[in-house]
């Protein structure tokens, strides 16, 4: 896994895109369903806040599972502020190049930090797509981040390794005009 490139620049770009989506979510959209069946818009916002918090905790040597799957609320329902503050803290932790090859434990296994960040990058892009689709925003994020993540996930999450205990559904055939973000979402089982 240490042969994988540094995902941090791609992760930063994906998080900036997610931030822009979160900033444009209206309170009247909180109850809308998303393509991720476990989350409506409000719980998706809470999960995106959790994703960066878990990433920070893992980088600090802690357990991602010490952070709930969804942050249930933030002051004043200001999800954009909470997400942005979490991103800054997390990026500060992961600015240490040594963490890329430090073995960390995430919910899907024990691996070098760079491999863990690829997983969190996937969550940012796919759940950004989920949020964009649910709220009627442009659903294509940074193409370079989606394409690179899809290439990694096609190697590390083959189609035949889904099922019990794997938090991804079977791949969905992408629409002929699907962009890279949607193709990544389809690979992990999300669809419109």
Average pLDDT on 20-44 reads 97
Is the pTM value of this prediction over 0.85? Answer: yes
What's residue 169's pLDDT? Answer: 79
Give the containing element (helix H, strand E) for 105. Answer: strand 103-106
- Say how far residue 124 (Cα) sits from the centre of its chain: 2
Q: What is the mean pLDDT of residues 127-139?
A: 98
Tell me the C-alpha distance between 6 and 4, whole Å.
7
- Residue for token pair 């719980």: 43
pLDDT over 60 (residue 2):
no
Structure tokens at 90: 């997390």
Residue 96: pLDDT band with limits 50, 70, 90: very high
Question: What proportion of the chain, given as a percentage, has pLDDT over 90?
Answer: 85
Rounded Cα–Cα distance for residues 107 and 33 (Å): 25
In the chain, pLDDT over 70 holds for what percent of residues?
95
Mean pLDDT (the chain, rounded): 93
For residues 25-43, one letter each, b for 16 or more C-beta atoms within 10 angstroms of the residue's C-beta and e for the rest, the string is beeebbebebbbeebbbbb
Task: Reply yes or no on whether the pLDDT at 11 is more than 50.
Answer: yes
């Amino acid at each position: 896994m240490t042969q994988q490139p540094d995902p941090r620049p791609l992760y930063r770009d994906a998080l900036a895109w997610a931030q822009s989506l979160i900033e444009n979510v209206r309170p009247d959209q909180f109850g809308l369903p998303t393509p991720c069946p476990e989350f409506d818009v409000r719980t998706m916002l809470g999960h995106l806040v959790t994703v960066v918090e878990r990433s920070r905790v893992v980088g600090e040597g802690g357990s991602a599972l010490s952070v709930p799957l969804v942050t249930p609320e933030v002051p004043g329902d200001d999800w954009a502020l909470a997400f942005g503050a979490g991103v800054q803290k997390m990026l500060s932790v992961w600015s240490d190049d040594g963490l890329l090859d430090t073995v960390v434990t995430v919910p899907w296994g024990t691996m070098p930090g760079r491999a863990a960040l690829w997983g969190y990058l996937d969550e940012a892009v796919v759940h950004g797509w989920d949020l964009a689709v649910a709220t009627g925003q442009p659903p294509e994020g940074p193409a370079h981040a989606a394409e690179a993540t899809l290439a990694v996930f096609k190697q590390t999450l083959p189609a035949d390794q889904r099922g019990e205990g794997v938090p991804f559904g079977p791949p969905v055939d992408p629409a002929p005009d699907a962009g890279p973000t949607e193709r990544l979402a389809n690979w992990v089982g999300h669809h419109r």
